[in-house]
Structure 1
Amino acid sequence: MVKYIFLLFTALVAAQTQIELAAGPTITFKADQFIAIDNFETMYFVRGNILYKKPKDKPAINYSNVQLGFPTTVNAFNPLKINVFYQDFNTIVILDNRLAEIFKVDFNTKQPYKNVTHVSTGFDNLLWIFNQDLQQLELYNYKNDKIRATTVPVQSNVLGLASDYNYCWMLTEKYLYQYTYFGSLISKLPNRGYTSFTVDNENVILKTETSLFYKSKNAEIVSALTTPKLLINQFLLTNETLYIYDSEILHKYQLKLK
């Protein structure tokens, strides 16, 4: 009995562990959506209905689609196949590294019809899409219009979707799910007030209304981040570097992980 009480106490203490941040340089710019920043400090962001790619110390290039209007989400995990999702038109546009169109998927023309609400990048020509009508994730090959894998339907609203070449994470009002490339569920973390999240190298940053939390890929423990008091409009994780955008300034912090 004493052993179990000790283990429970240890788990509770670990779950309340604070991770400190070391502040780095800031960047001032205006954007409606801050999409990504890579190891070479190339930034992707949306202003109005225009997607910008801004390499460090070089002019920006941009993409816009007048017919489709404002992009709902943009995923630049694979910079050679950037997907731009227009939810109002149920359409995805795939761009190359010069932001030129290389493929377009209009789900309104597909049989059976798909009502898609969330999109994220998969391997090669694959996309993770959430089919609202079936309430399930689908791994979709946009080149041959085939479904490679599906997940068990979920019973609550989806808040966010993120992926890499091996896994997909889906945040709902009840859980954060992690799936394999074959659509198999491998973990399910209770949602304790999380509203959004970001993933890098299988490590997850979760956000509540006022705070950020960190979950390592090697542990089930969720630790609080000691963030400064600023507006967290958007946030990203890149190689243990946390970026927080407050609508005017991009703040850079290094995670002090033990």
Structure 2
Amino acid sequence: MEVDVQKIFGIDTFGTMYYSTDDNTFNKRTKDTIITYTNYQLAEISTANPFNPLKINLFYQDFNTAIILDNRLAEVFKIDFNTTVPYKNVTFISTGFDNTIWIYNQDLQQLELYDYKTNKIRLKTVPVQSEVLDLKSDYNFSYLLTKNYLYIYNYFGSLVKKFENKGYDSLAFSKANLLLKEKNKLYVLTKNNDEIKAIDHPNLLINQFLVTNESLYIYNDGILRQYQLKLE
């Protein structure tokens, strides 16, 4: 399918697509409508996480700021980490439960569950010792990919699994399946499994990849391809 976008942030089970068309504009496209959110003051959107469509989080790393949007892309909360006390130098954020987001505090080198309404850290992990490459989460687990390891934490902030990073550079997650990318190769770690397995897929350049339930999406050069994951 031809898709003229800059970056795709998510596709849900109903086919709703969340994407950017330029550095500033976040879009939500359903079968019937397209709605947009733009914030020129904060410039480029670093990441966007529509896992909870009622509390979509956008992160603007250059300004150390996060925005929470509702399902109509109306701004409901702004988090300027430059003005929080204590100051937080944040490089990654992802979805948490209730009014929380997972944040990676670069100065402390730790993952923190941050309540943005009370400006309090509900919990934090033990510091990690290598560069962080990616962060994804749902209500129950948080997946932190570093140059040395993949760390999996539960919602109490306890480390439940740890895997050596064998060259993975980014990850995608949806319910039971965690996908890892190494250049143009993809690997999967299924729920309740301790083995990361290679995925057999067409030899494609992978600019972006996403997973929704059993559907794998690969986006490159304006073409969005959808595949069904066949896992044993």
Which bin holds the TM-score, normalised by the shorter protein?
A: over 0.9
Structure 1 portions without partners, runs of 5+: 1-26
Where does residue 36 of structure 2 map in the other structure? 62
Residue 31 of structure 1, CA deviation = 1.7
Task: Write the distance in 1 (CA, Å) between the matches of 2:144 and 2:231.
Answer: 25
2:27 alignment partner, one of 30, 38, 52 = 52
Runs of 4+ aligned structure 1 residues displaced above 6 Å come to none
Letter in 2 for 1:123: F
Specify which of 200, 217, 220 is matched with residue 191 of structure 2. Answer: 217
Report 1:76-91 matches (<5 A).
Answer: 76-91=50-65
Q: Is 1:227 aligned to residue 201 of structure 2?
A: yes
Q: For each residue in 1:16-67, what CA deviation from the matched residue of structure 2 results, as whole angstroms up to 9, or x when unmatched?
A: xxxxxxxxxxx211222110001110000011110010002x1211001010
**Equivalent-residue separation in structure 1 for 2:58 and 2:229 (angstroms):** 30
Give the one of 169, 174, 177 matched to 1:195. 169
Alignment map for 1:22-61 (pairs within 5 Å): 27-48=1-22, 49-56=24-31, 58-61=32-35
Shift of 1:210: 2.3
Q: Is the 8 A contact 1:32 1:247 kept in 2?
A: no
Render the CA deviation track for 1:215-236: whole Å, top value 9, x for unaligned. 1112111111111122211111
2:210 is the alignment partner of 1:236: yes
Task: Find the counterpart in structure 2 of residue 157 from structure 1.
Answer: 131
SS at match of 1:134: coil
Shift of 1:108: 0.6
**Higher relative contact order, structure no. (Cα contacts within 8 Å, ≥ 6 residues apart):** 1
- Residue 128 (str. 1) matches residue 128 (str. 2): no
Match of 2:70 among 96, 104, 121: 96
| Residues 184, 204 of structure 2: 8 Å contact kept | no
- The 5 Å alignment of 1:143-182 reads 143-182=117-156
Structure 2 unaligned blocks of 5 or more: none
- Bigger CA drift: 93-102 or 217-226? 217-226
- The counterpart of 1:207, out of the listed 164, 167, 181, is 181
Q: Which amino acid aligns with 1:187?
A: K
Q: Which has the larger radius of gyration?
A: 1
SS where residue 97 of structure 1 aligns?
coil
Instruction: Give 1:106's aligned residue.
Output: 80
Q: Deviation at 1:255?
A: 1.1
> In 1, are the aligned partners of 2:183 and 2:206 still within 8 Å (CA)?
no
1:202 and 1:256, CA in 2 relative to 1: closer, same or farther beyond 3 A?
Answer: closer
Cα distance in 2 between the residues matched to 1:247 and 1:116: 31
**CA RMSD, 1 decimal:** 0.8
Structure 1 residue 247, shift from structure 2 partner: 3.2
Q: How many residues align?
A: 231
**TM-score normalised by L of structure 1:** 0.88
1:202 Cα deviation after fit: 3.8
CA-CA distance at 1:199 after TM superposition: 1.1
TM-score w.r.t. structure 2 length? Answer: 0.98
One-letter code of the match for 2:111? L
Letter in 1 for 2:178: V
